[in-house]
Amino acid sequence: MRPTAIATLSLSLSLLIAAPIAQAASPATLGTDDIAWLRRDSFGLDTATVAQYRALGRKALLEKQLDNRISDALPAPIAAQIAGYESFYTPLFQLLTSIQQEQQQIKAMPDGPDKVAANKAIQARGNQLGLEAQQAEMLHAIYGQNQLKEQLVWFWLNHFSVYAGKGRVRWELADYEQNVIRPHALGKFRDLVMATLESPAMLEFLDNAQNAKGHVNENYARELMELHTLGVNSGYTQQDVQQLALILTGVGIAPTNGKPEKFPPNVAPLVVKHDLFEFNPQRHDFRDKMLLGKTIKGRGFDEVKQAVDLIVQQPACAQFISRKLAEYFVSDNPPPALVAKMARTFHHSDGDIAQVMRVMFESKDLLADSGKKFKDPTQFVVSSVRLAYDGTPIANAQPLVGWLNQLDQPLFGRITPDGWPLDSASWSSSGQMAKRFDIAHAIGTGNNQLFTPIGSTARGAGFPMLTTRLYYDAIEPDLSAAARDALSKATSQQEWNTFLLSSPDLNYR
């Protein structure tokens, strides 16, 4: 790289770390507010998103997104990739049954190289299943037509965070994304909580699969209130945690050993099963409990449903969820009046996520800090690929996962159950910026393997052409003077691409 280019890179990085750049008025067909709104509504601009906005207008587009009337269909090559993943074409029950059978066979093997190799093979298979879930989520984020829903899927996956590295969780991730989070992303919050409560991934990650009468585990009960619904310092007590843990005894996962379960006649009617979820009354504490000042009569799984209803109806829940949504979409410190209005809607609509989102996206506060909300690593990677390749189906999603690993935000990689932070300060260190430039360079130069299928030696598609109509209509009119100056010093299209993708303008939303 020439000295002038290195100097330009240094200037670009220093500006990016320091502060967002003020946006100029846009003379393009789409105004500055239109583009700013789309940047909040989507992971990032592409031609299809802009065309959809032009065709429908803001209000109609928002309504179609919130009503879930925009298809979840993906481009055929992308859909085929996901359909080819074992974790997506194999039912979870079958996956967990197979792993249990393999583990039993390995346990019976004599110690030696064969046993070591068998253990490594089962670990490698689990890792591959986890990688497939990561790749599928990134592909949905990039190519999903309902970009607002795709952002909410990521948001809820992070809010109800599970860690791939624990136990069998990586085997369960595809089911968690596809059958737990995605169908409820725009529905009632109560239904979303219940779906996560009944999911094998959550039950294993937070140990409620081991929660039983006489052997109570409080992990999930604590996080259900602190991280999932009410928030810390919301008024619940340690006694509430203990009582909720008793309510949750018996909530677990059905056996996958192939043997039919037998329950006594007086117990069988109280058994509840949904796919792999099982409420086992023989493991439940049937005493009456007191939760958040309300008596919960001991009667089985109905206690769990009553407890969840009670928790999500608390004013603290409406406030906590509304603020967190606003922190992700609006600002690190969202206006209290906006949060209060969202919380009122949450309460009056019985936790209707779509209605809460409508309040936020119709508010003038949504764009008050336009261009000042720093992208987290997922937003940066997804928006860069959406802009650079503009709907062209990639053949290999593995680099996407690798880039998030490099940026210290691996999907399903948060060890603690609090999810990745949403604030700008957590992602704007100088080290983070240097890694972002490297990734921008890989995307901008085409040196990234995105178009080289796994196992293939074929050459990729080359570097993208970012000087398109999309660029001139939706990006160039609002570029800062610093970005224009940096771009003018590029010595090639690849270098120009790199400078654009790593510029402050494209790292804020």
pLDDT at 20 over 80: no
Residues 6+ apart with CB under 8 A from 154: 137, 141, 378
The confidence band for 14, taking pLDDT boundaries of 50, 70 and 90, is very low
β 251-253/294-296 pair status: unpaired
Write down the mean pLDDT value for the chain: 92
User: Rounded to 10 degrees, what is the CA torsion of 202, 205, 207, 210?
Assistant: 80
* Domains in the chain: boundaries: 3-45+374-507, 57-198, 209-229+235-299, 315-367
Q: CA 501 to CA 9: how far, in whole Å? A: 12
The number of helices, as runs of H, and strands, as runs of E, in the chain is 25, 5
Q: Give how far Cα 72 sits from Cα of 153, 158, 450, Å.
A: 12, 20, 22
Q: Cα–chain-centroid distance for residue 37?
A: 21
Rg (CA), the chain: 24
The confidence band for 375, taking pLDDT boundaries of 50, 70 and 90, is very high
How high is the pLDDT of residue 257? 84
If you average pLDDT over residues 54-74, what whole number do you get? 95
Please tell me the chain's helix, strand, coil percentages from 3-state DSSP, rounded to the nearest 5.
60, 5, 35
The region of weakest confidence among 78-82, 109-113, 204-208 is 109-113
pLDDT digits (tens, 9 = 90+) for 293-341: 999 999 999 999 999 999 999 999 999 999 999 999 999 999 999 999 9
Backbone phi, psi, residue 136, to 5°: -60, -40
Which residues make beta-bridge pairs with 173?
none
Q: Which residue has the tokens 């398109």?
A: 468
How high is the pLDDT of residue 461? 67
The confidence band for 459, taking pLDDT boundaries of 50, 70 and 90, is low
Residues 6+ apart with CB under 8 A from 158: 414, 419, 420
Token duo for residue 435: 């890694």
Q: Which residue has the tokens 């507010």?
A: 33
The region of weakest confidence among 20-29, 385-394, 402-411, 436-445 is 20-29
Q: CA 142 to CA 79: how far, in whole Å? A: 12
pLDDT digits (tens, 9 = 90+) for 176-208: 999 999 999 999 999 999 999 999 999 999 999
What pTM, to 2 d.p., does this model score? 0.93
How high is the pLDDT of residue 259? 82
Q: What percent of the chain clears pLDDT 70, i.e. is strictly above it?
A: 94
- Is 170:133 a contact under the CB 8 Å cutoff? yes
